[in-house]
Structure 1
């Protein structure tokens, strides 16, 4: 999939202003944001993006924002990450995430080998870390798992290592789908089924635990589908959005009869959990 990268230079540039910028842009189609020393970068799937709508959102801000955009063609994200020195990562003190090209690392209770096609899903992003930390604390023995927006498959694979009976991993991005298949093979995980698509793929199969680490707007739109396939007594973990988005997510989830079970936060990103009575 091709991406549009939009770079934002803020004046004055501060952590607070960066947080405000990302918050006001969260309703648009950005899949992820990255921060460098001198700017914020947002990534939008595809090549068409409504710049006029974005500029209308930016115009009332109390600081100035200079933007530039460029097209990023579909590419081998593993090579990109290797060139940028993707380092082994220890999550929750128990799960080591590394790439096949890593040769120096400390062993851990759980180990996942990831071919990092894209940044989202190597464990480096706060939402992936938050979700993985939740999985490490859960007893998933014999559970049926759904991993929506699976990326590299890291969450579904960790759930498998934690004893899950079966894992269905779904992503709309071709690179992510192929990455999940490849990574499951690399980690000798045989009970993970990867699918290319979105929530429309959900049908008669039901799940005891659902993880959805996707953009807030997608989550809100797909919550009825998640509720439909979540078994009574099941758990739903949502991430990919900010603390300020929680009321909107909570309102939609509770309108479907789901019960708020609390949240965990890291650098303003959250994982929000719900249960089906």
Structure 2
């Protein structure tokens, strides 16, 4: 299928955290794929979804906090695999878990995850995915039922299974992420993962020991009550996709639903929080 895209090529100074903030805002505006480089970021959006005015709503472009310039062009087709292979390098988290592509050498780490993300998020390179991997490595998952909400590539669900979790649901509203998670689950010989396309509306009547939600602040604030309703007593809720300044509002809502913060991680202004249900 030959889909036309618009590419936006951003030069960002300083690179961090400017590039990460830009990715978060562009993702919310409908951009589907991002390739980071030494100058900044290439971002891609379907031509049918492109409206130049959408960039007027990207706060970081106009805040004055960063020096960001950009150019745009229409492109007939992007070879996502080629872009992926040029820009992706394997990462290792806490010396225990490696996330790599099929063309990389097999590492000597305890947990080896092979993914090919194409246009999905979740390579492990982004701070939020990296911190969620850290949280999972420090959480007892053996025999636990797990939800990976906003699963992207499925990397966190795959790690959860490798850590002993069973009956894992991986859910994403984006069709590309749904299909990519199916592919990556098969690639990693996962047998405990059920991939579903949809949102928190799929959670009715379900119960989990551990819920992973790496999405964004606004969706989390909307869906935390649903997560609380699905979390078994003593269960763990892992949240990321927001900044340090967002912690108070996230924390207040979690406390309202009888969840206590146990651990907080921070990387380049992004945070990942671990909560435990008290009821």
TM-score range, shorter chain: 0.7 to 0.9
Alpha-carbon distance in structure 2 between the residues aligned to 1:70 and 1:222:
37
Change in 2 beyond 3 A, CA 1:213/1:260: same
Alpha-carbon distance in structure 2 between the residues aligned to 1:74 and 1:148:
30
Task: Map 1:177-192 onto structure 2 (within 5 A).
Answer: 177-192=178-193
Change in 2 beyond 3 A, CA 1:172/1:72: farther
1:14 corresponding residue in structure 2: 14
| Deviation of the 1:79 alpha carbon | 4.0
Alpha carbons 1:145, 1:166 under 8 Å: kept: yes
Which residue, out of 57, 62, 68, partners 1:54? 57
Which residue, out of 98, 102, 109, partners 2:100? 98
| Deviation of the 1:239 alpha carbon | 0.8
Alpha-carbon distance in structure 2 between the residues aligned to 1:213 and 1:18:
20
Alpha carbons 1:23, 1:242 under 8 Å: kept: no
Alpha-carbon distance in structure 2 between the residues aligned to 1:4 and 1:241:
27
1:270 corresponding residue in structure 2: 271
Change in 2 beyond 3 A, CA 1:181/1:54: same
2:84 corresponding residue in structure 1: 81
Alpha-carbon distance in structure 2 between the residues aligned to 1:35 and 1:44:
15
- Point out the more displaced range, 23-32 or 35-44: 23-32
1:253 corresponding residue in structure 2: 254
| Deviation of the 1:196 alpha carbon | 0.8
Change in 2 beyond 3 A, CA 1:59/1:113: closer
| Deviation of the 1:6 alpha carbon | 4.8
| Deviation of the 1:86 alpha carbon | 2.1
- Point out the more displaced range, 69-78 or 199-208: 69-78
2:140 corresponding residue in structure 1: 139
2:154 corresponding residue in structure 1: 153
After TM superposition, the score normalised by the length of structure 2 is 0.81
The CA deviation string for residues 33-57 of structure 1, in whole angstroms up to 9 with x for no partner, is 7654334566778825653751677
After TM superposition, the score normalised by the length of structure 1 is 0.82
Alpha-carbon distance in structure 1 between the residues aligned to 2:156 and 2:223:
19
Alpha carbons 1:24, 1:57 under 8 Å: kept: no
Alpha carbons 2:19, 2:41 under 8 Å: kept: no
Alpha-carbon distance in structure 2 between the residues aligned to 1:197 and 1:90:
30
Aligned length: 273
Alpha-carbon distance in structure 2 between the residues aligned to 1:87 and 1:56:
30
Unaligned ranges ≥5, structure 2: none
Alpha carbons 1:209, 1:230 under 8 Å: kept: yes
Asked if 1:126 corresponds to 2:132, the answer is: no
Alpha carbons 2:16, 2:268 under 8 Å: kept: no
